[in-house]
């Protein structure tokens, strides 16, 4: 099931960044199986990752790359509680997720100085892994933001 949320391959490197093809359903409806996009690995050398950036990430201890959304930034308390995503006690409106989260889900992360909470948009799909499975990720695990959809 891990194939559901990994990137299939890097097709080519261009001046804009890396062209990728998405496999799986973890970011549906923002991205679907077979969608192509540009990732800019150099972007985070100068800019800080922002909340709601869609990124390519290397999960801790894994030899793959996933596409996910940054929801939690450094030094925050991020919780899934009562069917909502909460940042430092404030509900984050998530119009991009595919389905509401079940009210009984309970997850909480406190992030450190260079840590981010990343989640897929299709959170109820089987086999999806994100910060719910492996916790916050370090900044150096973020390959770069997805900056453009090709098709």
**Which among 68, 95, 98, 151 is annotated as catalytic?**
68
Of 38, 33, 36, nearest to 148 by C-alpha is 38
Task: State yes or no: is 32 an active-site residue.
Answer: no
Task: State yes or no: is 26 an active-site residue.
Answer: yes
> From CA 120, how far away is CA 124, in angstroms rounded?
9
**Which among 12, 14, 26, 32 is annotated as catalytic?**
26
The structure tokens 């009984």 sit at 104
> From CA 75, how far away is CA 103, in angstroms rounded?
25
> From CA 60, how far away is CA 150, in angstroms rounded?
28
Q: Which residues are catalytic?
A: 26, 68
């Amino acid at each position: 099931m891990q194939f559901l949320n990994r990137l299939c391959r890097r097709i080519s490197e261009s001046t804009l960044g890396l062209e990728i093809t998405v496999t799986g359903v973890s970011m549906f409806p923002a991205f679907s199986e077979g969608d192509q996009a540009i990732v800019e690995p150099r972007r985070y050398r100068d800019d800080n990752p922002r909340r709601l950036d869609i990124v390519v990430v290397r999960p801790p201890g894994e030899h793959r790359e996933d596409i996910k959304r940054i929801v939690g930034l450094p030094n925050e308390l991020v919780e899934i509680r009562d069917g909502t995503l909460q940042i430092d006690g404030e509900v984050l409106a998530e119009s991009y997720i595919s389905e509401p989260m079940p009210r009984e889900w309970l997850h909480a992360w406190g992030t450190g100085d260079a840590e981010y909470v990343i989640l897929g948009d299709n959170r109820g799909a089987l086999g999806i892994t994100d910060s719910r499975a492996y916790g916050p990720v370090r900044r150096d695990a973020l390959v770069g933001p997805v900056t453009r959809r090709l098709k």
